[in-house]
Amino acid sequence: MMDRIVLASGSPRRRELLHQMGIDDFEVLAARGEETAPAGLTPAELVRHLALQKAREVAALRPEATVIGADTVVVLDGAVLGKPADAGDARRMLSALSGRAHQVYTGLAVLRGGRTISHAECTQVHFRALTAEEIDAYVATGEPMDKAGAYGIQGRACTLIRGIEGDYYNVVGLPVCALYEALGRLEAETERKEPLP
């Protein structure tokens, strides 16, 4: 049976996705350390690095648990778009995304008993062309302010997006299929190592 699960993220969206997966008994212990990464990493390497950093910080506090770390970035023309600093920054990001395709990368790290599984998922997102008025109205909702790339696909931004290629839940912030597979692998490894009765 899987040990206690700890989510190393304060994201309410990630909590909701764990519940959606049928995982209801888990602890939330958000990583607090400064997010740092070496220069020159690709977006996939960056999110894996940051997810591992978060998971390792929390695993040091809960060594008996299965710890899940995640990190999401939006990438346009190779440039990483994080969370907007203010409303003007959100407008700038949304204007840049308007009418174009971009990538959303989420790094996933699952740690248990000294074993680590890490993964990076990429989803392509296509925005329709947005008017300045539409961008202003969306920014005025406040929704973009705590989200990478200044939008939340699961919220009001659903009207801004023409389509996606890949895992929808990855854009929300947690690639649930990859997480399910990682948890299954760790469970199977544990069962193989348990002594026979």
Provide the annotated active-site residues.
71
- Residues in a beta bridge with 108: 70, 119
Concatenate the DSSP letters of all residues of the chain into one string. ----EEE----HHHHHHHHHTT--SEEE----SPP---TT--HHHHHHHHHHHHHHHHHHH-TTSEEEEEEEEEEETTEEE-S-SSHHHHHHHHHHHTTSEEEEEEEEEEEETTEEEEEEEEEEEEEPP--HHHHHHHHHTSGGGGSGGG--TTTGGGGTEEEEES-HHHHHT--HHHHHHHHHHHHHHHHHHSPP-
The dihedral formed by the CA atoms of 162, 165, 169 and 171, expressed in degrees to the nearest 10: -70
- On whether the CB atoms of residues 34 and 22 are closer than 8 A, the answer is no
